Structure 1
Amino acid sequence: MGILRRVEEIRAEEHMKLRRALARADRALREVERALIEEVSEDGAVDMWGDPIKKEQVAPKRQRVNLRPLFDVWEPFERSVLDCVDHWEMELWPLVKVWVGPGGAAASARVIDATSRMQARREHTQELLRKVRIESNFIPELRPSLMALFASLEVATRAEDEVIPGLMSGSPDVANHTAISAPPRHTAHDITRNLRALHFEDDDEEQRAGGMLDSLGRFMGWLRG
């Protein structure tokens, strides 16, 4: 498989699935936000005379969660992920098409520059990812969609890692050889296997992780499709 085909494949497969996973995670976060707003509204419900409405049976409420710290890191993270895949599609991919064509050697410096800038953006994304993981850790409603997003981001990152050395080589021939000899592509199954090897502090934590892995297993079927 040549470098151009692999760049196109990453754009059409790994990056498209990453976009969808990001959109699903964002919807899940907005749904949690709406649910919390509704809970606050119910607490202040009054009748026509302004007296608090008494309920015969009050369902136990979960502990209130402050979503502001998560939103503060989620929105920059979301923008950073989209910036990376947009950069791949709108700048790097067109440059590679020129680079591998007749007389494309003149584009080598531009390909290297575009790849270097993409790597810097990826490093920034990873910094924000660590913050998102920390802030979302205690919001169980978000775990299935976020685990799927994290897996999709990992798959896309590893796919990019396979071609970056060739793109940075400055030679279309070297890049084509790198793409052809790349190791087997990583899948969400690899990531799930690694997650199962984690150490859990208590039974409750292991049970919660089991639920996340079940959700990730269903996501894997979609990812392969």
Structure 2
Amino acid sequence: MVTDVVPELLENIQRDFNAAIRRSVKLQRIQEMIENGTATYKQANEYAIEVGEALARTFQVYIKSETLPDGKMYYNIAERVLNPTLRNNHIIVAQVSSQIQEQLNRSVGLGLRGIEPPVNQLRIDSIINRVVAEEEFDKVAWILQEPIVNFTQSVVDDTIKTNVEFQGESGLGPRIMRSAHGNPPCDWCRSMEGVYKYPDVPEGVYKRHDRCRCVVEYYPGDSEEIRRQNVWSKEWSGN
């Protein structure tokens, strides 16, 4: 009889991931900023990277050829492990991002709640299908590293897109700004830098390649000026 490795595998991953989240000083710092109303989407992106890296590390520890039947990631294993863990990352980051969105709304006098985006199941399915495509898991182990961080970052981008579209369709003129980061940033990321006002927002603004650390920020309302908040005084000023 073949042993079902999923229950123990999932238990170990969830236990270590939860422990990493609880002891993260960076996440604690960002949570404090959220509670005192000074967090922006820059902090949401940092939060997502930290959560994504925590999950990727636990995958690296527990998911390897020697822990899988015949050294292969079978679909029934991938689906039962990756679906709940990636969906959990989505829930964590979507909640944080929508909280920050709501604070940004209030800061400019908008009584609108932050909207959480739906889970991007297509991206999860793509990761699952990729890791089961090889006979030897070691050949695709990298899929459960940086792409996991990228997936988690995309939750922040999806939150921005969802709220921009909602406010834009409600008659407001929200703006988003993308700034390139890297050492150095690639030509494509540099080409996407800029400030965009709804509805003139190219789809590429919300996309990112592996190891992309570009920051997408959101400016609610319909002011003709981009406004930035001073994190200490909480006062807003035009750019």
TM-score (norm 2): 0.33
Which has a greater percent of strand? 2
Specify the structure having the higher radius of gyration (Cα).
1
Which has a greater percent of helix? 1
TM-score (norm 1): 0.35
